[in-house]
């Protein structure tokens, strides 16, 4: 199957009432882990790369690995997504490379650190939409500012400083025409999201539910949504790691989100923990080993297990064969004719 647009994946997820995990990759083993999980659970999937990942792996290595994944697994719909594009140019370069979806994170300025103005965010996101849609490419925007820092991207803080304002979310969706919208509801990037199991004082699911009521046709996105399970933390620490105790976003909160318009859930930290724990275990228990395959294979297996678990929990499992891929050129025609125009707050328009 060729790479499909993320818009199609998310439209189908909305029809089916499930969420789709978007898993970050930097290398071959991570891509293989995701594909093994997608095949095992028969799930459509979003593979995403941050700017840092594109730099680390070099665009062409990364992109061709994903093309290989698509060629080897023709039954699995795969969307290839730029995570946290910081500028028009970053998104344009991803589209030129062949990504089928981009996130323009205009919630921050181009430095990826300083919160942007609302008008600045609308302007740069609109510009990306105007470039992407005629080419059939999906655009995700962000309104409000997430907490934490990952891959050098982020404003820091707890995630509670810039919670998304529902009025602004509606205006943003209408003025930009984004297909999907990331919200700041108290989640943060990285491992250290919450200092105790999150409740309504730190995880603002009520804001998300309110926004979904007012934007019923906009696909909502949860970032910083690793669950950071204790067993994965424990494996890392048991074999010489030094992680401080921390809490992520409980699966039941994500599932509440999925019942309220969340269609894309970003997961990175859980996979990082699974990989690191598996590698630490091998090197700790058998220090005489030095063939990278001796620890990369268990690392890949550990990530496969986490991704398959999330695919079942998010509900995407079993849905890979529900639909035929719409060619990107047809998506482009759909945007041009207005058929795919997101009309956010007009009920039934999509």
Residues that bind Zn ion (CB under 5 A): 223
CA separation, residue 46 to residues 3, 224, 284 (Å): 10, 15, 33
How far apart, in whole angstroms, are the C-alpha atoms of residue 350 and residue 342? 6
| Burial group, residue 117, by CB count within 10 angstroms (0-12, 13-18, 19+) | exposed
Nearest to 5 by CA among 323, 304, 232, 271: 323
CB of 146 to Zn ion, least distance (A): 6
CB of 317 to Zn ion, least distance (A): 23
Nearest to 94 by CA among 140, 43, 34, 126: 140
- Residue number with CB closer to Zn ion (139 or 317): 139
Nearest to 43 by CA among 322, 326, 323, 319: 319
Phi and psi at residue 298, to the nearest 5°: -60, -35
- Residue number with CB closer to Zn ion (223 or 263): 223
Nearest to 38 by CA among 344, 335, 319: 319
How far apart, in whole angstroms, are the C-alpha atoms of residue 17 and residue 323? 15
How far apart, in whole angstroms, are the C-alpha atoms of residue 285 and residue 240? 11
Catalytic positions are: 83
How far apart, in whole angstroms, are the C-alpha atoms of residue 51 and residue 44? 23
H helical segments located in 192-250? 205-214, 230-238
CB of 112 to Zn ion, least distance (A): 11
**Residue 172 CA neighbour count, 13 Å, CB half:** 32
CB of 266 to Zn ion, least distance (A): 5
CB of 95 to Zn ion, least distance (A): 19
- Residue number with CB closer to Zn ion (52 or 318): 52
- Residue number with CB closer to Zn ion (24 or 176): 24
CB of 281 to Zn ion, least distance (A): 28
Coil, helix or strand for 266? strand
- Residue number with CB closer to Zn ion (133 or 223): 223
Strand partners, 262: 220
- Residue number with CB closer to Zn ion (126 or 223): 223
Q: Per DSSP, which regions of 95-218 are E strands?
A: 101-104, 138-143, 180-183
Q: Which helix (H) or strand (E) holds 263?
A: strand 262-267
CB of 174 to Zn ion, least distance (A): 23
Strand partners, 46: 22, 79
> Any idea what DSSP says for residue 189?
S
- Residue number with CB closer to Zn ion (181 or 279): 181
């Amino acid at each position: 199957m060729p790479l499909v647009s993320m818009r199609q994946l998310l439209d189908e997820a909305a029809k089916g009432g499930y969420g789709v995990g978007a898993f970050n990759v930097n290398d071959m083993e991570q891509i293989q882990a995701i594909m093994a999980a997608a095949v095992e659970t028969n799930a459509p999937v979003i593979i995403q790369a941050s700017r840092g990942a594109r730099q680390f792996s070099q665009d062409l290595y990364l992109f061709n690995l994903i093309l290989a994944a698509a060629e080897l697994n023709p039954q699995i719909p795969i969307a290839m997504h730029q995570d946290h594009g910081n500028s028009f140019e970053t998104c344009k370069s991803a589209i030129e490379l062949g990504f089928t979806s981009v996130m323009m994170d205009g919630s921050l300025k181009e430095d990826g650190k300083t919160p942007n103005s609302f008008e600045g965010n609308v302007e740069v996101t609109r510009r990306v939409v105007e470039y992407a849609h005629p080419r059939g490419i999906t655009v995700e925007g962000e309104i409000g500012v997430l907490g934490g820092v990952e891959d050098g991207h982020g404003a820091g803080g707890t995630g509670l400083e810039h919670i998304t304002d529902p009025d602004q979310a509606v205006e943003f969706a209408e003025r930009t025409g984004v297909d999907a919208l990331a919200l700041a509801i108290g989640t943060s990037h990285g491992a250290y999201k919450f200092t105790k199991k999150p409740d309504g004082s730190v995880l603002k699911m009520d804001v998300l539910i309110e926004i979904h009521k007012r934007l019923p046709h906009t696909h909502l996105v949860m970032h910083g949504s690793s669950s950071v399970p204790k067993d994965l933390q424990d494996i890392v620490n048991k074999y010489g790691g030094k992680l401080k105790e921390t809490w992520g976003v409980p699966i039941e909160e994500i599932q509440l989100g999925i019942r309220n318009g969340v269609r894309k859930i970003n997961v990175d930290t859980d996979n990082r923990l699974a990989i690191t724990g598996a590698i630490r275990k091998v090197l700790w228990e058998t220090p005489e080993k030095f063939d990278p395959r001796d620890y990369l294979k268990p690392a890949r297996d550990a990530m496969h297990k986490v991704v398959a678990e999330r695919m079942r929990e998010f509900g995407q499992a079993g849905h890979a064969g529900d639909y035929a891929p719409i060619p990107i050129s047809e998506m482009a025609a759909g945007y041009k004719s207005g058929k795919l125009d997101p009309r956010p707050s007009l009920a039934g328009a999509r």
